[in-house]
């Protein structure tokens, strides 16, 4: 379906402003905004790396995901048609490994960004893209390094799978995955960049996505092992993937990363993790000549505590790369999915996870922005010291009754209303929301924030991230009189902020992709909604103006900070009271920010804090 004229105009404005922010075509010695973690060892890696870098870079500028996916697809197709032989280099490899050309990462990244700019220029002149209506799933994502030395988890969210792979003949599809690396992050990054690409390229993908997922795990494992031999890598990763096609859920997994389904408020088991103490896994390992022994926990040959993974070449075949799968038909009564690594599920039971989500939604009037943050905090408080990554995918609007119960509630409401009228003998009608209220026309359709394509800078992030397109960067400040004040406005706002401000549509379709700002710590969502509820003690000023939060910014804006804070790139900055923060590129000037929610007992996590106009008081 052709997009509206308003939507196309908004997309054109984004392309125009994006190109204005980009540098001229990169020359041979020019630095690149980002590049792959290592040189490409095969042309099989080209598509995945290209899609990942394009999505990362576009999402930094708050690009709507549908447009970002279409641009990434067009750029990848252009790169794949290029002559890549000029970027080949020869490297010495270990004895017994046959050498073959590799693609130099910096030159390859330079090619990608130049092709991306060319594509944007062409689309600005002749815009070919038309966004199709689709069900986006609302998600909440959070990850922390916790007490580990490095962050080795990776996650990927692709809400518009069809656009990213130019699929025309399928129902709407979405892809969510968590990868938990060990021995290094290389395997997790590789899987996050390439597994979904390998899945699409399987011949059985159209007819049997579950089998395609399992084959993709196997292909990804084989190709990473080949890469690991060339680069002397000794790492691996577990992984869990959920793929939604229409009303069917496909789950595939390796190792102990898990996903659970919540249906009508009850936890539903979808899988059994691959651990060495599982009886069938133990028998498989022993049949191959290996052993499972206790060394703090049950381990394969006394080493790894998982029995299946991508990579871990020195532990093959005992550590298998064959994934299991499960298919679940959806009937519309499913509430949400929780994908997480073992750092979460080793300390939080399914029932406890359901309770945490339920309590959070109740306390915050159905606002799901900080749900993943709450789950991560519950795992850490329960004693988890491992990396923790959590993705919550909402399959329906929990503020509306499940399908099938609406009519029942409506009938009960009508019966009650008739009884009251007959009893009182009056014609006054009570409020009958029941099943007749149209809750925003949502049901199964959510808008999804531009989330992490695969790698959003784990090499620079030291503790945690909240995966949102844009978070409120300015917390309320307290004046000497104890009243809330807005920090002084910058006379010349950063270019990255101006990009987002200039794109803010008043209303209509163009508003669907820009962040709906719920000020404070819980971030923003890409969907137009009613004005957020403000606590009674914090009412907006009479002029009703609200500032726009800053957009995401690049690597230059990130800074190392203390534990229990989120990187400035992700919007929530927490400094010790009494210290003035340094000014960062892409941020508005601020003297103080809201502390970590648990350190501010009068605040509830997820409750909106207003950003008031300059010199306004409450």
Least confident of 81-95, 176-190, 375-389, 569-583: 569-583
β-partners of residue 176 are 157, 242
**Closest residue by Cα to residue 30 from 99, 121, 106:** 106
Rg from Cα positions in the chain: 25
Comparing C-alpha atoms, which of 73, 57, 241, 62 is closest to residue 157? Answer: 241
pTM above 0.85, yes or no: no
- For the segment 155-178, the average pLDDT, to the nearest whole number, is 94
Q: For residue 496, give every residue at least 6 positions away whose Cβ sits within 8 Å of its Cβ, in sequence order, or none.
A: 21, 61, 550, 551, 552, 553, 585, 586
* 362 pLDDT above the threshold of 80: yes
Q: At residue 102, does pLDDT exceed 70?
A: yes
Q: What 3-state DSSP class applies to 190? A: helix
Six-digit token pair at 486? 């807005």
Which two structure tokens, joined as six digits, stand for 453? 């394509």
Query: Is residue 97 very low, low, confident or very high in pLDDT (cuts 50, 70, 90)?
Result: low
Total residues belonging to the chain: 618
Residues in CB range of 203: below 8 A, 6 or more apart: none
- Nearest CA to 391 out of 552, 149, 179, 212 is that of 179
Maximum CA pair distance of the chain?
95
> Contact at 8 Å (CB) between 390 and 376?
yes
Phi/psi-derived region of residue 487, left when phi > 0, alpha when psi is between -120 and 50, beta in every other case: beta
Secondary structure (3-state) at 316: coil
Query: Could you give the C-alpha distances from 4 to 7, 18, 74, in angstroms and in order?
Result: 5, 21, 21
- Residue 358 pLDDT more than 60? yes
What CA–CA distance (Å, rounded) separates 433 from 616? 37
pLDDT band for position 436 (50/70/90)?
very low
- State the Cα–Cα distance between residues 69 and 84, nearest whole angstrom: 23
User: What integer pLDDT is reported at residue 541 of this predicted model?
Assistant: 41
- For residue 362, give the H/E element and its range: helix 350-363
**Average pLDDT rounded to a whole number, residues 406-412:** 58
The three-point CA angle 335-336-340 to 5° equals: 155
Q: Which residue has the tokens 């119960």?
A: 405
* Statement: residue 273 has pLDDT above 80: yes
Tokens encoding 515: 């962040």
CB-count exposure of residue 324 (10 Å: 0-12, 13-18, 19+):
middle
Mean of the per-residue pLDDT values for the chain? Answer: 74
For the residues 372-400, what does the mean pLDDT come to? 95
pLDDT at 201 over 50: yes
Q: For residue 460, what are its two tokens?
A: 């620079």
């Amino acid at each position: 379906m052709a997009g509206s004229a308003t939507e196309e105009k908004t997309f054109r404005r984004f392309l125009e402003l994006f190109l204005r922010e980009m540098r001229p075509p990169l020359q041979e010695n020019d630095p690149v905004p980002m590049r792959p973690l290592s040189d490409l060892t095969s042309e099989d890696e080209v598509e995945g790396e290209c899609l990942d870098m394009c999505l990362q870079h576009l999402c930094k500028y708050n690009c709507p995901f549908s447009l970002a996916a279409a641009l990434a697809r067009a750029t990848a197709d252009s790169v794949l048609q290029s002559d890549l032989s000029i970027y080949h280099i020869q490297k010495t490899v270990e004895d017994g490994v046959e050498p073959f050309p590799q693609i130099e990462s910096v030159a390859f990244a330079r090619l990608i960004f130049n092709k991306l700019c060319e594509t944007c220029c062409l689309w600005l002149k002749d815009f070919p893209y038309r966004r199709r209506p689709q069900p986006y799933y609302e998600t909440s994502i959070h990850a922390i390094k916790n007490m580990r030395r490095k962050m080795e988890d990776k996650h990927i969210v692709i809400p518009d799978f069809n656009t990213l792979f130019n699929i025309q003949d399928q129902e709407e599809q979405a892809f969510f995955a968590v990868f938990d690396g060990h021995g290094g992050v290389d395997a997790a990054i590789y899987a996050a960049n390439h597994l979904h690409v390998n899945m699409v390229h399987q011949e059985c993908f159209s007819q049997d996505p579950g089998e395609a997922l399992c084959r993709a795990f196997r292909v990804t494992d084989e190709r990473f092992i080949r890469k690991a031999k060339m680069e002397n890598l000794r790492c691996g990763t577990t992984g869990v993937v959920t793929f939604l096609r229409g009303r069917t859920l496909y789950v595939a997994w390796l190792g102990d990363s898990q996903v659970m389904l919540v249906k009508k408020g009850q936890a539903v088991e979808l899988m059994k993790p691959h651990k060495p103490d599982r009886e069938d896994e133990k028998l498989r390992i022993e049949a191959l000549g290996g052993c499972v022994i206790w060394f703090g926990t049950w381990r394969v040959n006394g080493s790894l505590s998982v029995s299946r993974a991508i990579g871990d070449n020195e532990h093959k075949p005992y550590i298998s790369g064959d994934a299991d799968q499960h298919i679940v038909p959806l009937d519309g009564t499913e509430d949400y999915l929780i994908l997480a690594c073992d750092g979460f599920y080793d300390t939080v039971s399914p029932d406890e996870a359901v309770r945490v989500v339920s309590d959070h939604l109740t306390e915050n009037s159905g606002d799901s922005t900080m749900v993943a943050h709450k789950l991560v905090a519950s795992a850490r408080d329960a004693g988890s010291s491992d990396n923790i990554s959590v993705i919550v995918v909402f399959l329906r609007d929990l503020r509306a009754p499940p399908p099938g119960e609406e009519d029942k509630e409506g009938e009960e409401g009508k019966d009650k209303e008739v009884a009251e009228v007959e009893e009182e003998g009056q014609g006054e009608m009570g409020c009958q929301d029941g099943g007749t209220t149209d809750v925003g026309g949502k049901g199964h359709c959510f808008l999804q924030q531009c989330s992490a394509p695969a790698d959003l800078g784990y090499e620079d992030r030291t503790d945690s991230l909240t995966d949102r397109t844009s978070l409120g960067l300015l917390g309320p400040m307290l004046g000497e009189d104890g009243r809330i004040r807005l920090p002084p406005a910058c006379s010349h706002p950063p270019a990255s902020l101006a990009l987002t401000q200039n794109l803010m549509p008043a209303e209509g379709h163009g508003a669907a992709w820009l962040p709906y700002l719920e000020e404070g710590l819980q971030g923003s969502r890409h969907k137009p909604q009613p004005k957020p509820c403000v606590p009674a003690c914090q009412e907006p000023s009479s002029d009703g103006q609200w500032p726009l939060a800053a957009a995401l910014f690049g690597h230059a804006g990130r800074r190392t900070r203390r534990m229990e804070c989120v990187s400035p790139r992700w919007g929530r900055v927490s400094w010790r009271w009494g210290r003035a923060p340094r000014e960062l590129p892409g941020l508005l000037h601020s003297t103080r920010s809201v502390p970590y929610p648990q350190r501010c007992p009068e605040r509830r996590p997820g409750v909106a804090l207003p950003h008031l106009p300059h010199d306004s008081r409450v």
